[in-house]
């Protein structure tokens, strides 16, 4: 039996999305049980033999600052869900709450693993190979040293080895060109650390990759700092949304284009399915002494269910132990300088 | 009369693309004349009363390093084209040659403007408003200080004031969130410099923007360092190419989807036109004592012609003087530290 602690109140839609997703997930996962964390009066819509309500009186808002979440909302559903993992009552926690608050709370409650300076957020982006490229970090760490990037690579490798059942998934370093001499000073140093780690057999480092390689699937894991990762992810979301809007607009322009839309419907549906980011919902917070997953705040029930599946698979395959082992094997990691200008 | 110096040998396709593009451009621009720079024997396909051949015996290859371009190819068509600008024979130069070599050669031959530490590359990306967002820097400067980012904002503002005929185009700073407290140390400092410049009336700074704002058109100009800009641009190219590939694949899957493709053809063509990066070909190298434009290396004749139009418009509107004035007005610019770690 795998137990997940679910922050049922988080995200843009709260229980309207999380509870139907939990029900659907339970139906397809007979070996899972869920701790439904939130205000008990809001959780009545889901009664199931494999759920248990864990009361939490507060909710972290999507716009709450890290300070508010940490200091004034100690009874939040987000925090109580993470505490279930700390206390051993659940093997993983999931929240659609705001990223900054979730990362800060998870770090405060669970602490980081030995050898890890900063936890990272890893997400999956669909690629042309029909699979997905795992990109990290995505927003948690804006000023990174080369050592931080090495740690991200190690954690990403552990995650993908679980996801893809491949002990040595290929890792690329996001850069402005393939040549080792390219890039900023930090990136060049990170390249050296990664090559050294690969030479020791700790990692399968394939070298520098560029932005378009995320979609080509050149490497299973793409490592970058949180600033670059966040910009890349938001750029992807912006372009996908613009193209979707263009398609809708062009197909609804005249009666003829509306007919074309009907004829092309199966094709457009297939395209939408291939591009559907909901299938890849569920980012992993890596480097903590416990498993925490983050759903997109605007997730619908299907997307939230996917994030539940992701958290379940990670717990079932003991991702935490894999990260620990890979971090320890690569130890002693160089000590990271804490700030860079 | 506006005279442009055209590196006819550069890019993936050389004269096969540049000469037809030049002919087409001349037909629609009666007040333009072109200096066709390259090996005279390769330029015979275009004879026109408003062209003149300027001989250059060498060609910078797409994979040539900056060192090779600068030291061993002093007679390259790229360099000779830029020298036409330096010598006053042309008001702007255009090349589809490799970016690193072009920037280094332009910087060496023309030198930077007073008050500018580093030239930048600015390109346009279509947005949902039907216009385009100008993004800079794109690859030339990987380690930037806050002062460099301020300079990029000033140069970008001058460029867009010419392109859009708007004296105070809105400028955004690419960041991981809208709040001023977000981002890396360099970005936070850049935000302060930009707010101060806006308070003095030098710039129309609208604040931080995120990756998706490039497509929303939240600001006409988006400023970032060359590393982030390059990653964003390549990510955009990668995603657009993947979606295009998916559409093609889905529409050619069965006989029914092929029929759907025929019915949907006008819509798909409209979509393609709206997304067509060729319409936005022609990146500006800003901050030099002369106008230089860069065409995409893989440009076809239509795209290269667009880049010619862009260079022509910039020369006709005296972009160089506008950049000089805006840089001088914002002077004394803070002295930029030359390297950051």
B234-245 tens-digit pLDDT: 999 899 888 888
Q: Which of A14-28, A57-71, A252-266, A318-332 has the highest mean pLDDT?
A: A14-28
Mean pLDDT of all residues in B37-62 = 95
Query: Are residues B228 and A233, on separate chains, in Cβ contact within 8 Å?
Result: no
Q: Is B68 exposed, middle or buried (0-12, 13-18, 19+ CB in 10 A)?
A: middle
Query: Nearest chain A Cα to B276, which residue?
Result: A243
Residue A128: count of CB within 10 angstroms of its CB:
16
Closest CA to A177 of B258, B234, B307, B67: B234
pTM metric for this prediction? 0.89
Distance CA B161, CA B214 (A): 18
The H helix count followed by the E strand count for chain B is 12, 11
Please answer whether residues B5 and B85 qualify as being in contact, where contact means their C-beta atoms are separated by less than 8 angstroms.
yes
Pick among B103, B224, B260, B271 to test the A interface (most A CBs inside 10 A): B260
At B335, is the pLDDT very low, low, confident or very high (cuts 50, 70, 90)?
A: low
Give me the long-range contacts of B79-83 (CB less than 8 A, separation at least 24): B79/B105, B79/B109, B80/B5, B80/B7, B80/B37, B80/B54, B80/B55, B80/B56, B81/B5, B81/B6, B81/B7, B81/B35, B81/B37, B81/B54, B81/B56, B82/B5, B82/B106, B82/B109, B82/B110, B82/B290, B82/B292, B83/B109
Query: B253–A230: do the CB atoms touch at under 8 Å?
Result: no
CB contact under 8 A, A184 and B275: no
The partner residue sitting opposite A210, judged by closest CB among B174, B234, B341, is B234
From A212, A213, A242, residue closest to B128, measured CB to CB: A242
Q: Do A176 and B215 touch (CB under 8 A)?
A: no
Contact call for residues A67 and A58 (beta carbons, < 8 A): no
Task: Give residues with Cβ within 8 angstroms of A310, minimum separation 6.
Answer: A281, A282, A284, A293
Contacts of A271 in chain B (CB under 8 A): 243, 246-247, 250
- Please give the average per-residue pLDDT across B258-281, as a whole number: 82
pLDDT at B336: 53
pLDDT in tens, B194-214: 999 999 988 999 999 999 999
Q: Which one has a higher pLDDT value, B269 or B227? A: B227
CA B168 to CA B157: how far, in whole Å? 7
Q: How far is B264 from chain A (nearest CA, A)?
A: 5
Render pLDDT for B138-179 as a digit per residue (tens, 0 to 9).
977 888 999 999 999 999 999 999 888 898 999 999 999 877
* CA–CA separation, B251 and B249 (whole Å): 6
Mean pLDDT for A208-214 is 95
Q: A264–B259: do the CB atoms touch at under 8 Å?
A: no
B294, HSE (Cβ side, Cα atoms, 13 Å): 24
Contact A12, A295 (CB under 8 A): no
Contacts B127 to A, Cβ<8 Å = 242
| pLDDT value of residue A341 | 37
Report chain B's mean pLDDT, rounded to a whole number.
91
In the predicted structure, residue A340 carries a pLDDT above the cut 60: no
Confidence class for position A334, pLDDT limits 50, 70, 90: low
What per-residue confidence (pLDDT) applies to B271?
80
Please tell me whether the peptide bond between B137 and the residue prior to it is cis, using omega within 30 degrees of 0.
Answer: yes
pLDDT band at A335 (very low <50, low <70, confident <90, very high): low
Lowest-confidence region among A52-56, A105-109, A190-194, A273-277: A273-277
In the numeric block, which tokens belong to residue A197?
């780690």
Q: What local confidence, expressed as pLDDT, does residue B89 receive?
A: 98
CA distance A37 to chain B (A): 29
Cβ-in-10-Å burial (0-12, 13-18, 19+) of A335 comes to exposed
pLDDT exceeds 90 at position A331: no
Q: A264 or B111: whose pLDDT is higher?
A: B111
* Cα of A239 to nearest chain B Cα, Å: 6
For residue B336, the 8-state DSSP code is P
Residue with token string 């794109």: B138
Contact A237 B211 (CB under 8 A): yes
pLDDT score of A339: 43
Query: Contact B242/A339, CB-based, under 8 Å?
Result: no
What mean pLDDT comes out for the span A56-83? 95
Confidence of residue B36 (pLDDT cuts 50, 70, 90): very high
Neighbouring residues of A117: CB distance < 8 A, sequence distance ≥ 6: A147, A148, A151, A336, A338
Please give the Cα distance from A7 to A56 (Å, whole number). 9
> How many Å lie between the alpha carbon of B204 and the closest alpha carbon of chain A?
22
Contact at CB, A238 and B216, closer than 8 angstroms:
yes
Residues of B in contact with A176 (CB under 8 A): 139, 142, 226-227, 230-231
What residues of chain B lie within 8 A of the CB of A257, using their CB? 266-267
**For chain A, what is the HEC assignment?**
CEEEEEECCCCCCCHHHHHHHHHHHHHHCCCEEEEEEECHHHCCCCCCCCEEEEECCECCCCCCCHHHHHHHCCCEHHHHHHHHHHCCCCCEEEECCCHHHHHHHHHHHHCECCCCCCCEEEEEEECCCCCEEEEECCCCCCCCCHHHHHHHHHHHHHHHHHHHCCCCCEEEEECCCCCCCCCCHHHHHHHHHHHHHHHCCCCEEEEEECCCHHHHCCCCEEECCHHHHHHHHHHHHHHHHHHHHHHHHHHCCCHHHHHHHHHCHHHHHHHHHHHCHHHHCCEEEECECCEEEECCCCCCHHHHHHHHHHHHHHHHCCHHHHHHHHHHHCCCCCCCCCCCC
Q: State the Cα–Cα distance between residues A15 and A63, nearest whole angstrom.
A: 18
Which range (A264-268, A275-279, B135-139) has the least confidence?
A275-279
Mean pLDDT (chain A) is 91
Over residues A248-260, the mean pLDDT reads 86
More confident residue, B169 or A178: B169
Of B227, B28, B20, the residue nearest B136 (C-alpha): B227
Which residues from B are below 8 Å from A234, CB to CB? 210-212
φ, ψ for residue B7 (rounded to 5)?
-75, 100
ipTM of this complex prediction, to 2 decimal places: 0.86
Residue B339: predicted pLDDT: 43
Chain-chain contact of B267 with A274 (C-beta, under 8 angstroms): no
Average pLDDT over residues A71-88: 97
Give me the residues paired with residue B123 across strands.
Answer: B135
* Contacts across the A-B interface (CB distance below 8 Å): 182
Cβ-based contacts of B263 with chain A (< 8 Å): 259-260, 263-264
List CB contacts of B23: < 8 A, sequence separation 6 or more: B46, B48
pLDDT band at B333 (very low <50, low <70, confident <90, very high): low
Residue A271 structure tokens: 């395209």
Query: When comparing pLDDT for B310 and B338, which is higher?
Result: B310
The pLDDT tens digits of the residues spanning A103-139 come to: 999 999 999 999 898 999 999 999 999 889 999 999 7
In order of B92, B253, B318, B319, the CA distances from B314 in angstroms are 8, 45, 6, 5
Q: What is the pLDDT of residue B330?
A: 76
Which residues in chain A are contacts of B233 at CB distance < 8 A?
211
How close, in Å, is residue A100 to chain B by CA atoms? 11
Name the token pair of B15: 């004269």
Task: Tell me: pLDDT of A20 over 60.
Answer: yes
Q: Report the gap between the CA of B210 and the closest CA in chain A (Å).
A: 7
- Cα gap A246→A8, rounded to integer Å: 35
- Closest to B227 (Cβ–Cβ): which among A228, A236, A241? A228
> Do residue A259 and residue B256 have CB atoms under 8 angstroms apart?
no
| Measured distance CA(A294)–CA(A93) in Å, rounded | 9
Which residue of B176, B242, B267 is in closest CB contact with A215?
B242
8-state DSSP, B18: H
CA distances from B99 to A43, A276, B37, B69, B153 (A): 58, 35, 18, 11, 21
Name every residue whose Cβ is closer than 8 Å to that of residue A261 and which is 6 or more positions away in sequence: A251, A252, A268, B264, B267
The continuous run of DSSP H or E covering B258 comes out as helix B255-263
Contact B264 A263 (CB under 8 A): yes
pLDDT (average), residues A246-267: 85
Pairwise CB contact (< 8 Å): B143 & A227: no
Which whole number is the average pLDDT over B317-337?
Answer: 78
Q: Which of A11-20, A286-295, A324-333, B282-291 is least confident? A: A324-333
**CB-CB neighbors (< 8 A) of A259 in chain B:** 263
């Amino acid at each position: 039996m795998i137990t997940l602690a679910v922050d049922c109140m988080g995200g843009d839609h709260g229980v309207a999305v999380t509870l139907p997703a939990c029900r659907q997930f339970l139906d397809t996962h007979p070996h899972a049980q869920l701790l439904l964390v939130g205000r008990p009066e809001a959780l009545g819509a889901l009664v199931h033999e494999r759920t248990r309500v864990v009361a939490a009186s507060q909710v972290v808002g999507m716009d709450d600052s890290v300070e508010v979440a940490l200091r004034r909302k100690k009874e939040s559903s987000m925090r109580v869900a993470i505490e279930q993992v700390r206390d051993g009552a659940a093997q993983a926690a999931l929240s659609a709450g705001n990223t900054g608050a979730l990362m800060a709370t998870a770090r405060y409650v669970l602490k980081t693993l030995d050898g890890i300076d900063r936890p990272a957020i890893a997400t999956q982006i669909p690629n042309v190979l029909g699979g997905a490229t795992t990109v990290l970090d995505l927003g948690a760490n804006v000023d990174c040293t080369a050592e931080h990037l090495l740690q991200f690579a190690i954690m990403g490798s552990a995650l993908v080895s679980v996801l893809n059942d491949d002990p040595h998934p290929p890792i690329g370093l996001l850069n402005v060109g393939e040549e080792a001499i390219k890039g900023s000073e930090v990136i060049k140093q990170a390249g050296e650390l990664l090559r050294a780690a690969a030479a020791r057999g700790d990692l399968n480092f394939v070298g520098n990759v560029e932005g378009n390689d995320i979609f080509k699937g050149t490497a299973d894991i793409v490592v970058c700092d949180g600033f670059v990762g966040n910009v890349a992810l938001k750029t992807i979301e912006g372009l996908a949304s613009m193209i979707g809007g263009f398609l809708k607009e062009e197909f609804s322009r005249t009666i003829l284009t509306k007919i074309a839309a009907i004829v092309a419907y199966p094709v457009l549906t297939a395209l939408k399915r291939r591009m559907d980011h909901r299938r890849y919902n569920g980012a992993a917070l890596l480097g903590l002494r416990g498993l925490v997953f983050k759903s997109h705040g605007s997730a619908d029930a299907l997307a939230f269910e996917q994030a539940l599946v992701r958290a379940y698979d990670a717990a079932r395959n003991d991702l935490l132990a894999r990260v620990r082992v890979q971090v320890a094997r690569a130890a002693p990691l160089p000590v990271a300088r804490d700030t860079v200008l």
